[in-house]
Amino acid sequence: MKYKLAGFIAMLCMAGVIFGLSQAEKEQPNVRVHQHLQDIPEKCDCDNSQLCTHLPLVVIETGGEDIPGAIVGSNAQNADDSVQQYTTAADGSEMLSVKVSVMDDPDKRHHPDDDPDVESSALIRIRGNSSRRFDKKNYLLRFTDKKGDYQEEEIMGMDAHYEWALHGPYLDKSLIRNYMWYNIAGEIMDYSPNVRFCEVILNGKYIGLYLMTETITNGEDSRLNISEPVEDTTETGYLLRLDRYSEDQLRNLDNFTAYTFRNNNQLEIRYPRSGALTPEMQRAIEQEFSDFEKALYSFDYDTDDYGYWHYIDTGSFVDYWIMNEFTSNTDAGRYSTYLYKDIGGRYKTVIWDFNSACDNYQASETSPYTFHMQEEVWYYMLMKEEDFTERIIDRYRELRKTYLSDEYLENYIDETLEYLGDAIDRNFSVWGYTFDLPLLRPENRNIESHEEAVKQLKKYIKTRGKWMDENIESIKQYSHASKNKRYNH
């Protein structure tokens, strides 16, 4: 009997070990892949009569149809983004069905007539806000099966999902802002979209260097990895986006900072998707987020009973502040600002869109000698709390020794550009004319070559880092008692 008991105990122990390993594997954060650190395949013996690239290659065939989503209007310009109208497919649909082939074997070079590693039908449209006006378009891709249902695809070594964004650097003449900052944020934060450089051929025409990018959404064991809606309840993990006006009233939230006019932009639900989101679920999400905002804007925002830290992952909000302040990403906290929350969890942040960062904002110059996040809706109150500003300072000092050090960032830029190699020249063989366009204002900010763009990026990073090193302690002014008398107890 004692041997049977011993055997039973041993089986229980083994089961516990297996369960523990599976849980550890589930909780283990994804290892960040930096594409530029991969080995470059040796040159092949092709005759160079067609494109030969060491980067992944994406070939899109539309059957001669125009891709929908372009801004309607003779000048494609409107003062109010909320009333923009976009082109549709011939049948009136917002997306067009196309054929997509992806060649992404990391051990060899790629050509347009190679056998694809992924071949699928997909839906496509032009994506973005102001970027829709650019000659080089950005695209949203959703892979589908033969029946037209969404089909997950593993793309360029990134976890399988059906939805992807193809970002085409246009304003960013260095070509690497999104690639660089997404990857660095991925080393610092819980999640940042994974990215891979690729080259794209559309209807037989080469259209340049692109960045295949994970969209910010949920996925099964990937991306945000939050809970799906619980049947017959209002419980769900969810993703919110603060951005321009949306016409989808089921997704729009009338949250506390909206109806008290503390925030002029629209907060909307981005996950759950259509079909899974119910009016009851929308109201529950709206109430839960308003509860957080009411606590944050109350006189009890820093008390044990009602403190903001009961609602948010403070470390996530600290890292978001640092990433966007260090890069002077002035859209952060206003547009393309994402928050997500799992059932029973706290709100976390996700970075998005560094195309205008590091003084690449189209409408005006961005000074490296100022802070801006203290003016944004939730940070306006968070930075009144001393512990929060102290955490920013401590975390900033820590990151300046690692992922945000001058040496690390300069090497990152140089190594990425070396990896891209001839793809840079191929891209500007198509888009080089944009160096002659007055895209930035005032006009003396416009870059005249790729080399100049790289120098500008490096200089801004060094200048910004030096200034923040010398002035980071000054953010204590925003939490000082003399500035916050009305909130003092």
Q: Of 5-9, 209-213, 328-332, give the range with the top mean pLDDT.
A: 209-213
User: Given this model, what pLDDT does residue 183 score?
Assistant: 99
Cα angle, residue 138 at apex, residues 135 and 140 outer, rounded to 5°: 150
Task: Give the mean model confidence (pLDDT) for residues 113-119.
Answer: 97
Q: How confident is the model at residue 8 (pLDDT cuts 50, 70, 90)?
A: very low
What pLDDT is recorded for position 20? 42
Tokens of 58: 């994406």
CA distance 415 to 178: 15
Classify residue 77 as exposed, middle or buried by CB count within 10 Å of its CB (0-12, 13-18, 19+).
exposed
Measured distance CA(308)–CA(304) in Å, rounded:
9
| Residue 83's pLDDT band (cuts 50, 70, 90) | low
Evaluate whether 115 touches 102 at the Cβ level (below 8 Å): no
Classify residue 197: in a domain, yes or no.
yes
DSSP state of 69: -
pLDDT for position 300: 86
Provide CB contacts within 8 A for 306, sequence distance 6+: 295, 298, 300
* Alpha-carbon span 225 to 221, nearest angstrom: 5
Confidence of residue 82 (pLDDT cuts 50, 70, 90): low
Range of the domain at 131: 51-72+85-219
Specify if 94 maps to a domain.
Answer: yes
- Is 184 a domain residue? yes
For residue 262, being part of any structural domain is answered with no
pLDDT for 12 equals 42
Q: Is the dihedral of CA 63, 159, 234, 246 positive or negative?
A: negative
Give the pLDDT mean for 285-293. 97
Q: Number of structural domains, the chain?
A: 1
pLDDT at 289 over 60: yes
Could you tell me if residue 93 is inside a domain? yes
Cα–Cα dist 152/147, whole Å: 14
Q: Per the structure block, which two tokens stand in for 458? A: 């490096």
Could you tell me the pTM of the whole model? 0.91
**For position 278, what pLDDT does the model report?**
96
Between 439 and 482, residue with greater pLDDT:
439
Domain-located, residue 41: no
Mean pLDDT lowest for which of 23-32, 40-49, 284-293? 23-32
CB of 246 within 8 A of CB of 267?
no
Residue of 120, 151, 141 whose CA lies nearest to 210: 141
| pLDDT at 487 exceeding the cut of 70 | no
What is d(CA 43, CA 20) in angstroms, rounded to the nearest whole number?
46
Q: Mean pLDDT over residues 149-162, rounded?
A: 97
383 vs 81 pLDDT, higher one: 383
The string of pLDDT tens digits covering residues 473-486 is 999 999 998 777 66
Residue 373: both structure tokens together: 């996040």
The lowest-confidence range among 33-47, 64-78, 135-149, 445-459 is 64-78
CA pseudo-torsion sign 270, 276, 282, 288: negative
Instruction: Say if 429 falls within a structural domain.
Output: no
Cα–Cα distances in angstroms (integers) from residue 425 to residues 121, 230, 415, 428, in the given order = 30, 51, 16, 5
Cα–Cα dist 86/67, whole Å: 11
CA angle 78, 350, 283 (to 5 degrees): 75
Please, are residues 144 and 113 in contact by the beta-carbon 8 Å criterion? no
**Chain segment 198-230, per-residue pLDDT in tens:** 999 999 999 999 999 999 999 877 899 999 999
* Residue 480 belongs to a domain: no
